[in-house]
Structures are given as C-alpha cells and as structure tokens.
Amino acid sequence: AQSVTQPDIHITVSEGASLELRCNYSYGATPYLFWYVQSPGQGLQLLLKYFSGDTLVQGIKGFEAEFKRSQSSFNLRKPSVHWSDAAEYFCAVASDFSGGYNKLIFGAGTRLAVHP
Amino acid sequence: SAVISQKPSRDICQRGTSLTIQCQVDSQVTMMFWYRQQPGQSLTLIATANQGSEATYESGFVIDKFPISRPNLTFSTLTVSNMSPEDSSIYLCSVEDRGTLDTQYFGPGTRLTVL
C-alpha cells in the first residue's frame, strides 16, 4: 500500500537559515508527489508538485524539492527561511487512478518553528 | 487555480446534533473530495464526490454518518450526523483541477467543535 513518511514532527530553525524537510514515500510506480503548507487556522496551500521530468522542481515562496527515485524521497528545501514560513508542511503522494482520479495519501506533517 | 470557499468557517455544536458544511467552487470541476483533520493529525480522506453519482467512501467512513450531496459541478455538502466529541475536527473540501494536471486544491476548512 502507498504511504508517506515525514520523519521529523517538529523542526526549529533561525530566520535566515536554510531548511530541509524530509519526505519518503512508498509507491510501486512513478509517483505524483506534492508538498502543501498549512498556516495556523488556514486550509492547505499547494507549494509544488512533481509528476515527471526534471527531478528538481521549483515552487512558490522560494521553495524547491528534489525527487530521488533511488532513495524514494522528495525533500523540500528553502535556502533562507523567513518568519512567515512558520507553519505545518505536508508531503503527499497521489495513488489509485482506477477511478479516474487521484487519491492523496498524506504524511503526518512537519511543524516548522522559526526563531528570530 | 480554482477558488474554494467553505461555510461555516467554524462552529460549536452539541452532542447528538448534525451539521452541514458547504463547499463552493468558482469554476466547474469534476471531482470534489472531503477530508477530515483531527486535532494535531494529518488529513484523512472521507469520500470522493462526483457530480451525478453517489459519493465513494473510504474505509472507516459510512454514508449514514457523513452523507454527501453533489447537486452540480460547483457545489457539494458534507453532513456530520449525530455528532459526538470525537467528531471535533477540521473538515476540508478539495477539488481536482484537471486544467493543472490532476492537482487538488483545498478550501479553507471548517473547524468543528462538539461539546
């Protein structure tokens, strides 16, 4: 069965520091992968997605992620974190196309705190 | 991307009552999804709503508890029936926008507290 693992429940970084959030997936075929961000009291906003092609994908707000098939990973990175990046980040994999639509499987999420 | 709104944004309800949550999209979409996010947890898919057919429920969710309507291509409702405190969660709807390669976009969520 498809699954997504986010090993880090909480991460704290200083403002201006670099960031890497880890995501590992389990999926038999080439996965569709997503990163979403949820700010406090808000819904989910799509940061970026990977379907195929270039394994380094650029997203909004200065985020990027790299797909590594050999490691079954899709880690999210940002070179310099801003205080407004404090939020919960969810990695997701799309599965089950049998019904003609994607079914998203979410990881447990990583809560990011940013120190001034 | 599609713009999605949900009503109500939050509510506090008494045990045993029901609440209907509305999800409105600014464009026609084929698939709409309902998720539950329990406190401090990740998102779990409740059901998928395709216009003109019955919703498809995930394991652990049943129609009697979470009836869903999908009367047209821009609107859906989820009802949480006979509520208990365990139903306290954020309920989110999402839509799949085929115009942007099978990507789901989420509404702002409805925060439900059951006393």
Average pLDDT on A45-74 reads 94
Nearest-CA distance from A108 to chain B in Å?
Answer: 5
Res. B15 pLDDT band, cuts 50 70 90: very high
CA separation, residue A106 to residues A35, A76, A96, B44, B84 (Å): 9, 15, 14, 8, 25
pLDDT at B22 over 80: yes
Residues of A76-110 as b/e, b for ≥16 C-beta within 10 angstroms?
A: bebeebeeebbbbbbbbbbbeeeeebbbbbbbbbb
> Rounded mean pLDDT of B88-103?
84
Contact list in B for residue A49 (CB cut-off 8 A) is: 101, 103
Predicted local confidence at residue A29, as pLDDT: 76
Whether the Cβ atoms of residue A91 and residue A76 lie closer than 8 Å to each other = yes
A3-115: CATH class: mainly beta
Q: Is A42 on the interface with B (CB under 8 A)?
A: yes
HSE-up (13 A, CA, CB side) for residue B11 = 18
A31 shares contact with chain B (CB less than 8 Å): no
Whether the pLDDT of residue B111 is over 90: the answer is yes
Mean pLDDT of the region A58-78: 96
Token couple for A43: 């819904």
Looking at residue A98, its pLDDT comes to 57
Q: What is the residue extent of each domain of chain B?
A: 7-98+106-114
Q: Is pLDDT above 90 for B91?
A: yes
Report the mean per-residue pLDDT for chain A: 91
How many whole angstroms separate alpha carbon A113 and alpha carbon A103?
Answer: 29
Question: Residues of chain B whose C-beta is under 8 A from some C-beta in A?
Answer: 1, 4, 6, 30-31, 33, 41-45, 48, 56, 92, 94, 96, 101-109, 111
Average pLDDT over residues A38-48: 90
CATH of domain B7-98+106-114: 2.60.40.10
Burial of A62 (0-12, 13-18, 19+ CB in 10 A): middle
Residue A52: its pLDDT value, please? 83
Q: Do B104 and A99 touch (CB under 8 A)?
A: no
Q: Indicate the DSSP class of residue A70.
A: G
pLDDT band for B19, please (50, 70, 90 cuts): very high
Q: Which of A101, A110, A111 to mutate to test the interface with B (most CBs of B within 10 A)?
A: A101
C-alpha B22/C-alpha B95 separation (Å) is 13
The residue assigned the tokens 């490691």 is A71
Q: In degrees rounded to 5, what are phi and psi of residue B100?
A: -125, 45
Distances in whole angstroms, Cα of residue A56 to Cα of each of A110, B57, B82: 21, 35, 47
pLDDT band at B37 (very low <50, low <70, confident <90, very high): very high
**Taking CB atoms and an 8 Å limit, are A106 and B30 in contact across chains?**
no
pLDDT at A51: 87
Judged against a pLDDT cut of 90, whether residue A1 lies above it is answered with no
What is the pLDDT at residue A99?
Answer: 60
Percent of chain A with pLDDT over 70: 95
- Domain coordinates of chain A in residue numbers? 3-115
- Which of B33, B41, B108 lies closest to A43 in CB terms? B108
Whether A49 and chain B come into contact, CB under 8 Å, resolves to yes
